[in-house]
């Protein structure tokens, strides 16, 4: 059998460090979410002044807004270590005990997607967060016995996109709960400028505005679009002005409000197939060949934020703004262009 030739990677250790460097390295470099940063500065300053462990923190909100970054900055601000994991990776109490017992005093344990943590394992967190101890059951049946493990004081930082799925007992044990909101255009411009400087990429003010206005209020999307524009400008153009940015994003079928092809398909199906709704989400998913959970969690929030879609007891319904954006005349309204 003919074997494929070995392909050597050109991705160096230096490149890896460089990519990680796109994240803010200090809390004062974190752009946007000013109120949250102010709260964290007070909390961190007070803990350092009293030489105490930082209180437990919960960050929630849509993906890509900086929840993981803030948890990382907590550890850096306190001068301690960060141990990261995700809730689905903790399959049994022993996994959690292994993580907790390796923490040094003041370390930050970051658990992503905390709402997916097994409820039986979650109960072990209660005593760990309050008393810095954990009870582990060894063996079973007549030989079963409980062993109390003493833990060093630590900080639990958790992130979730679905706060409502976190149980009340766990939620009440966090000293600080922060909701991250979508970023305004001016904040996104600062983030894009910072990323562009790290990438050694020059972009003019008009191009900067085009990217920030199409980033759906999300820094992660803004940085991804900037990388794409950089690639496009290197291959298709000599500069990075407004025209280059528009052409690059049109290739991704992203319009001036940040709507992509699937967003427009959702609105088109509701408007043209179901007279603007109301229509059930499952029906829309079948019509588009897309999972309804994906529609609800990925696409709907931004459409609702823009006022293009609304949820009703009978289903989803397109608004007048959606008709106008799609250039479709709503039935019963006069066509003033005639």
By three-state DSSP, how is residue 329 classified? coil
Active site residues: 67-68, 112, 161, 220
Give the C-alpha separation, 247 to 218, whole Å: 21
Give the C-alpha separation, 160 to 253, whole Å: 29
Q: What is the DSSP letter of 3?
A: P
Write out the binding residues for Mg(2+). 68
Write out the binding residues. 22-23, 64, 67-69, 130-132, 173, 183, 220, 311, 316
Residues 246-276 as b/e (b if ≥16 CB within 10 A, e otherwise) read bebbeeeebeeebbbeebbbbbbbbbeebeb
Q: Are strands 176-179 and 133-138 parallel, antiparallel or unpaired?
A: unpaired
Write out the binding residues for ATP. 22-23, 64, 67-69, 130-132, 173, 183, 220
Q: What angle is formed at CA 33 by the lines to CA 177 and CA 155, rounded to 5 degrees?
A: 35
Residue 71: name the closest of 101, 112, 32 by CA: 112
The beta-strand segments (E) located in the chain are 57-60, 82-86, 108-112, 133-138, 145-150, 155-160, 176-179, 309-312, 315-318
Write out the binding residues for DNA. 311, 316
Residue 192: name the closest of 179, 210, 168, 174 by CA: 210
Task: Please say whether the beta carbons of 204 and 241 come within 8 A.
Answer: yes
């Amino acid at each position: 059998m003919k074997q494929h030739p070995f392909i050597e990677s050109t991705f160096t250790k230096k490149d890896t460090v460089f990519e990680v460097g796109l994240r803010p390295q200090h809390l004062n470099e974190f752009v946007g979410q000013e109120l949250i940063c102010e709260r964290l500065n007070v909390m961190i300053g007070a803990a350092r002044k009293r030489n105490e462990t930082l209180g437990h923190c919960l960050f929630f909100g849509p993906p890509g807004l900086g929840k993981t970054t803030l948890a990382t900055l907590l550890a850096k601000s306190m001068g301690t270590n960060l141990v990261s994991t995700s809730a689905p990776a903790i399959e049994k109490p022993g996994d959690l005990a292994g993580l907790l017992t390796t923490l040094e005093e003041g370390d930050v344990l970051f658990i992503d997607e905390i709402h997916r943590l097994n409820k039986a394992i979650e109960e072990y967190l209660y005593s760990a967060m309050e008393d810095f101890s954990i009870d582990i059951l060894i063996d079973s049946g007549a030989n079963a016995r409980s062993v109390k493990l003493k833990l060093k004081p630590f900080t639990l930082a958790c992130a979730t996109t679905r706060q409502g799925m976190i149980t009340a007992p766990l939620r009440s044990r966090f000293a600080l709960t922060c909701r991250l909101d979508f970023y305004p255009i001016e904040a996104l411009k600062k983030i894009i400028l910072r990323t562009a400087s790290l990438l050694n990429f020059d972009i003019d003010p008009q191009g900067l505005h085009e990217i920030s206005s199409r980033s759906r209020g999300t820094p992660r999307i803004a940085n991804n679009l900037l990388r794409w524009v950089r690639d496009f400008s290197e291959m298709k153009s000599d500069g990075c002005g407004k025209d280059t940015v528009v052409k690059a994003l049109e290739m991704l079928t992203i319009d001036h409000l940040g709507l992509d092809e699937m967003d427009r398909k959702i609105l088109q199906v509701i408007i043209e197939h179901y007279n603007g709704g109301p229509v059930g989400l499952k029906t829309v998913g079948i019509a588009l060949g897309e999972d309804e959970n994906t529609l609800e969690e990925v696409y709907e929030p931004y459409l609702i934020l823009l006022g293009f879609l609304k949820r009703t007891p009978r289903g989803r319904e397109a608004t007048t703004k959606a008709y106008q954006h799609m250039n479709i005349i709503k039935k019963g309204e006069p066509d003033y262009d005639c």
